[in-house]
Amino acid sequence: MIQKITRSILTGYYRPVSRFVEDPLGIQQQTLDYLLKHGRNTIYGKENNFQSIRDSGDFAARIPVISYEELRPWLDRIILHKQRDVLWDTPVKWFAMSSGTTEDKSKYIPVTKESLYNGNYRAGYHMLGIYAHHHPDTAFIIGKTLVMGGSQQINRIGGNIYTGDISAILMRNLPLVAKRSRTPESIALLPDWEEKLQKLTDYAVKADIRAMVGVPSWMLVLLKKIAEDTGRSIPELWPNLEVFFHGGVGFLPFQEQYEKLIPSAKMSYWETYNASEGFFGVQFSPASKDMLLLLDNEVYYEFIPEGEWDKDNPVAVPLGEVETGKQYAVVISTSGGLWRYMIGDTIQFTSIYPYLFKITGRTKQFINAFGEELIVDNADKAINEACRLTGAKVTEYTAAPVYFGEHRNGAHEWLIEFEILPEGGLDEFARILDENLKRLNSDYEAKRSYNLSLGMPVVKAMEKGTFYNWMKYRGRIGGQNKVPKLSNNRKYVDSILDFVSSK
């Protein structure tokens, strides 16, 4: 009976998804109207004359697209000067700390009651509803969910305002019924990484784990530790485990390792797109990793076409004007008080009815030192194919340009940590990687022609544990921290090489 009741609840979570799938543009217009209604009461809205905005065209023409650097002075009004109604007309009690993938210092993203409950939590219900729609016999909700969260180091910055990892904020404010089914908050959000790993292991081996939530790279560390400590397989420990809701980084580089750890035909891997700024997408079917754009979570979306990203005044298009197969940078306006904010992620739509997409990278995470326009999506797929053909398994990687020298052309240097080294050696792996990058990216192929401007990839194998220890050294373990896969400069590659040489 409990199972029937929970299935009925989960099925109900799918109904709002059906509504915005059927009327996506109408729902987005309602969202914009709602946001502007609240925005007119704010300092930002008054200074930008929200009162005169009547439609999406006015909104795009009069309100500038902004980056975090342009947002920060408005946040200082809240944090430092204790002003009210700066970006949203209800109090901002939380700021999610986001290190991003290419920033040294934390970003502070405002979180309001509305963005928390009507944004993040509502999107979470959509995730459950979509999964249950395709798995009507699901029973994970009556067991425990293993959550690999960030840090619970919640820092008060005055005036009843707190900062913390978004996962800590979400877990702190969860309804009691939801907390009971998840990893205890006191464990999941421990600030000390080693202590957290051990206590999560101690908890998980005794629990009926049926679902997992977290970033693939960090969850993999935990699962390997559990398997090694117990000497038992994951399906043996948790026979009812059925789904891993994952996000934060692409799953493809980790998929083979998960399938080896969890050799179970009933196991599902469900992609999500959530960030400190909001929860934006969920995998729509078991057949594809393409995600459904969530349209009723108090987020109004716009999209900047490739070629406009680096302009001072980029032109963004509304949802109704996007096309499949093109790269777009995501711009959001939210009930958290973000107005036409460019979050730095790039996506490509694969369908417009419904609006399905895949994440392709970051506006700041790419290599274009020689005009090759290499993005993370290309790199992940090429690495995966090189692994398939050489029997290799990759744990982590990062790549950056090698600049022209007196006696050499430019190239890409790849630092790769292998779980299993490639058959045929690194040169063969590099050759296959190169061939697949050419296949996936015509600009890369053109620059590689005759080795005139771009030479063969330089692949270096890192010792096991290198990336983990480097991230730990930098204080970037767990949570939403991630290894930057591509960089247009050598900052991260040189940092890793220096770290290795200093050991």
Residue 404 scores a pLDDT above 70: no
Angstrom distance (rounded) from CA 260 to CA 99 = 31
Q: Answer with the residue of higher pLDDT: 434 or 2.
A: 434
Residue 399 scores a pLDDT above 60: yes
Residue 103 scores a pLDDT above 50: no
Q: What is the mean pLDDT of residues 458-473?
A: 94
Percent of the chain past pLDDT 90, that is, above it, reads 62
Percent of the chain past pLDDT 70, that is, above it, reads 94
Q: What is the mean pLDDT of residues 434-455?
A: 84
Strand order in the sheet with 278-285: 144-147, 209-214, 243-246, 268-275, 278-285, 288-293, 355-362, 341-352, 327-334, 299-305, 317-318
Write out pLDDT tens, residues 232-270. 999 999 999 999 999 877 787 778 889 999 999 899 999
Write out pLDDT tens, residues 288-312. 999 999 999 999 999 999 888 878 8
**439: Cβ–Cβ under 8 A, 6 or more apart, which residues?**
445
Q: What is the mean pLDDT of residues 178-204?
A: 83
pLDDT at 152: 54
Q: What is the mean pLDDT of residues 34-53?
A: 97
Q: Answer with the residue of higher pLDDT: 286 or 448.
A: 286
pLDDT at 61: 95
pLDDT at 1: 65
pLDDT at 40: 97
Residue 101 scores a pLDDT above 60: no
77-86 own/partner pairs: CB under 8 Å, 24+ apart: 77/43, 78/110, 78/161, 79/108, 79/157, 79/158, 79/161, 82/158, 82/159, 83/43, 85/41, 85/42, 85/43, 86/42, 86/43, 86/44, 86/337
pLDDT at 279: 96
Residue 59 scores a pLDDT above 50: yes
pLDDT at 389: 97
Angstrom distance (rounded) from CA 419 to CA 467 = 12
Residue labelled with tokens 């809205």: 45
Q: How confident is the model at residue 139 (pLDDT cuts 50, 70, 90)?
A: confident
Q: Among 71-85, 97-111, 252-266, where is mean pLDDT lowest? A: 97-111
Q: What is the mean pLDDT of residues 344-354?
A: 94
Contact 488, 401 (CB under 8 A): yes
Residue 356 scores a pLDDT above 90: yes
CATH number assigned to the domain covering 366-502 = 3.30.300
Contact 152, 191 (CB under 8 A): yes
Highest mean pLDDT among 94-98, 199-203, 280-284: 280-284
Angstrom distance (rounded) from CA 212 to CA 204 = 11
pLDDT at 449: 78
Look over the chain and give the mean of its residue pLDDT values, rounded to a whole number. Answer: 89
**33: Cβ–Cβ under 8 A, 6 or more apart, which residues?**
none
Write out pLDDT tens, residues 145-181. 998 876 555 677 766 788 888 888 888 888 777 777 8
Write out pLDDT tens, residues 20-43. 999 999 999 999 999 999 999 999
Write out pLDDT tens, residues 217-229. 789 889 999 999 9
In the chain, what are the domain boundaries?
366-502
For 230, other C-beta atoms within 10 Å of its C-beta total 14
Tokens of 354: 């419904």
Residue labelled with tokens 């209604």: 37
Q: How confident is the model at residue 346 (pLDDT cuts 50, 70, 90)?
A: very high
Q: What is the mean pLDDT of residues 89-117?
A: 78
Q: What is the mean pLDDT of residues 87-111?
A: 76
